[in-house]
Each structure stands twice: as C-alpha cells, then as structure tokens.
Amino acid sequence: MDISLHNEDFFGGVGRIADASVDLVIADPPYGLGKDYGNDSDRRYGEDYLAFSRRWIDAVLPKLKASGSLYVFLTWQHAPEVFSYLKTRMLMVNEIIWDRRVPSMGGSTRRFSSVHDNIGFFAASRDYYFDLDRIRIPYDAQTKKARSRSIFVGKKWLEIGYNPKDVWSVARLHRQDAEREDHPTQKPLAIIERMLLASSPPGGLVLDPFMGSGTAAAAAAVHGRRFVGFELNGDYLAIARERVAAAQPSQSKAAGNGGSTVDEFRLV
C-alpha cells in the first residue's frame, strides 16, 4: 500500500497533493497550549492560533473528495471557534468527546479538572462515506441474555452490535504502555482506527497534516489505506517510519469485508 511520510512543513507539501483526491483527513494539530514538539509549532495563542487553524483548514479542504470527511482533535480552549469556522465550510456531523480516562488524583482546585479532547467530525457533503458495520460494538453476553425475551429473539441489531456513541472512553497512553512512543501527545491507535475504518473506504487516501509519531500512518498500513503525512520533527518522522514498517497488514480489514471489527478495539 502506498504510504508516503514527509519530514516537511505541511504548508510547503500540501500543494503536491491533487485536489479532490483525499477520502479522509485526520488532523491532530498543535493545541495552542505550549507543548514541546522540539519546535515552536505549539507556541501560538489566541488570534494567532485561530489564524493558523483557518490556514491549515483552507489548505486541506480543496484536497478532499465530495465524499470525504475530516476529523480534528481540539481542546475546549479553541474548539468553539475552530468548529464555528469549519461549519462555514463543511457539514458538522458530530462532536466526539474523547474521555482520556484520567484517574482522580487531586487536580485543579479552582475549577473542574479537564479530562477530555473535543474531536470534530465534519463532512465535505451530505454524501460522505460512512461504514457503520466496520465499527459496530458487539453486545456482551450479559446484555444479550437480558434481551432474551421472545420479542428480542432474532433481532438483527442484537447480533450485529450497536453503533458507537459520541463519547469515546479510552485511556491516554502511559509511559509504560506497549504502544507508547517518544511523543508528548501521541494518540491511541484504537481511536484513529475507528475514524479510519468508519470514514475511509479500503484503498482510500488518508491525509494527516500533523503526523507526530505516525499513529494514523500505522493505522493506514494495518488497514489497507493509502496515506500521506507531514511532520516537522525528524525524530518523530523516524518513529513513524518504524511504526509503518512494523505494521502487520490485516487481509480481512484491508478487504473491508464487512462484519464487526470491534473486538479488535479497546473502545466502548
């Protein structure tokens, strides 16, 4: 599968991507919170951050197909303004709350502790691609048993599982986690996989403008999607390359042959 990783500023490289060629954008931009990515990219605040957000959105949107979608990771600080801007250009499908399952250990004393990311799911048109069957969640044995009364017997929804809700409860990656790489804001693979399986067809093209440790690239390699990504930091790019090289392609997933894949997730 064609996976193309660039140690390059996204704004410099995006012009090489053909217009209307991308099925899915997974954007995890700097948060505007001063994180250290070995560069100054997260030292934009207030209006400067919003101008940066509008700039990458304007650059990415012409690349999307009419059936394409975009997911963007944000925090509560900037999500309202960035969502508002995106809504002038795209159809807003969902706001997804990623509950990072942060354990309770004291925390803020003058406000409520913030433990979530705001993820925007936007579509280029009403005809956006969405494959619910790839991401259904099977009912557990207990629930199935509780639904064993005659009115539920043979119900298709009980067999095929339910569609994920808009609160995704997935532990952030801890230092000791086997999946963890040396990147400060690496996203769990399970979250990216759900986006990719639901919102890109097998063989489709996924674009990640801010690749970090290459979580989306690794997911694309496993699930048989084409991929193009950009990352400023050469150390992170090297990690991304290693992750792609180590990825084990899944025939069944790449073939997109339907059925639930959710038992592969650590997601509810």
Ligand X SMILES: C[S@@+](CC[C@H](N)C(=O)[O-])C[C@H]1O[C@@H](n2cnc3c(N)ncnc32)[C@H](O)[C@@H]1O
Round to whole Å and give the CA distance between 253 and 245. 18
**Beta carbon of residue 87, minimum distance to ligand X (angstroms, whole number):** 22
Residue nearest to ligand X (CB): 212
Buried residues in 201-239 as b, exposed as e (16+ CB within 10 A): ebebbbbbbbbbbbbbbbbbbbbbbbbbbbbbbeebbeb
Residues recorded for the chain: 268
Of the candidates 236, 244, 261, 265, which one interacts with ligand X according to CB under 6 A? Answer: 236
Q: Does 67 bind ligand X (CB under 6 A)?
A: no
Of the candidates 86, 191, 232, 244, which one interacts with ligand X according to CB under 6 A? Answer: 232
Of the candidates 53, 200, 213, 261, which one interacts with ligand X according to CB under 6 A? Answer: 213
Q: Based on CB atoms, which residue is closest to ligand X, 134 or 187?
A: 187
255: left (phi over 0), alpha (psi -120 to 50) or beta: alpha
Residues 26-45 that bind ligand X (CB under 6 A): 28, 30, 37, 39, 41
Q: Does 53 bind ligand X (CB under 6 A)?
A: no
46: left (phi over 0), alpha (psi -120 to 50) or beta: left
Round to whole Å and give the CA distance between 225 and 235. 24
Q: Does 215 bind ligand X (CB under 6 A)?
A: yes
Of the candidates 11, 76, 152, 157, which one interacts with ligand X according to CB under 6 A? Answer: 11
> How deeply is 99 buried, as exposed, middle or buried, from its count of CB atoms within 10 A (0-12, 13-18, 19+)?
middle
**Beta carbon of residue 237, minimum distance to ligand X (angstroms, whole number):** 9
Residues that bind ligand X in the complex, under the rule CB under 6 A = 9-11, 28, 30, 37, 39, 41, 183, 185-187, 210, 212-213, 215, 230-233, 236
